[in-house]
Structures are given as C-alpha cells and as structure tokens.
Amino acid sequence: MTDYIEYKESKLDGDLRVLERKDVWVSDVVHIGKESNGLDKSELLGLDEDSYVEYSDVEYLEKKFAELAPKILKLKSKEVREFGISKQTLWNSKIKIKENLTERISIKIKEKLICIILCPLQV
C-alpha cells in the first residue's frame, strides 16, 4: 500500500495538491495500422513490441522490394525460417513476385524478406 501512496506520477509535474501537466515533445511520428492489437490491454500493462503494427515508408519499401525481387526469388526456406517466414509463405511470395502481384504480399513479410537479403544473420 505504501508503494501506491509513494508512487511518483509520471504524467504530471508536482507531488502534492494540484498537479500540472507535463509538456510533451514529439520526436517522431509512426503510422500504425488498424491491425494493432490489444491497445486497451497495453494501456493497463504497458506496451510491448507487438502492440502496434507499424508502417515504414511504404513507397521506399516497395521500391526496395522490387529492386531485390530477383534475389528474393533465389531464397531457400531454410534461409528464411529464422526470420519467422514459413516455407509456404516464401513459396506464396515467390509466386506473387513472378506474377507481378507484389501488392498482395504483406508489408511485414516484405520487410522481413528485405532484411534477409540486406542484413543476413552472422553465424
């Protein structure tokens, strides 16, 4: 109970009586998708890295994905497994690349595939 009473308020300035709101400085804007999960739960328990679906610069991502498509087509399932991409997802992605339907590949999968090509794991 004393922890509750002595808990320092992080959102407001002051210790007693009327507390003042803290100033907020925006350092970055991140676009999140409607797929973001558990936002009510996140507010109570704190955020984890999977709370929001973040979107990077989609135009740059699409350009980089198109540029790396030939290398992505050469990937083997054992190379992508460590990044959480299944054999089936890789196969589906390759078909969509070959059929020029890359808009049907999720942003998350595109980001992972780009990372596999540009940032290989050091073993």
Alpha-carbon span 53 to 89, nearest angstrom: 19
Residue 107's nearest CA partner among 73, 58, 70 is: 58
Specify if 12 maps to a domain: no
Residue 82 and residue 47 share a domain: no
Is the Cβ–Cβ distance between 20 and 13 less than 8 Å?
yes
Residue 64 and residue 48 share a domain: no
Residue 63 and residue 34 share a domain: no
Is the pLDDT assigned to residue 21 strictly greater than 70? yes
Q: What is the mean pLDDT of the chain?
A: 77
Q: What is the pLDDT of residues 30-89, one digit of tens each?
A: 655 554 454 554 554 455 555 555 556 788 889 889 999 999 999 999 999 988 999 999
Domain that residue 30 falls in? 26-55
Residue 107 and residue 77 share a domain: yes
Global model pTM greater than 0.75 = no
B/e letters for 88-98, b = 16+ CB within 10 Å, e = fewer, are: ebbeebbeebe
Least confident among 7-11, 92-96, 97-101, 107-111? 7-11
Residue 49 and residue 86 share a domain: no
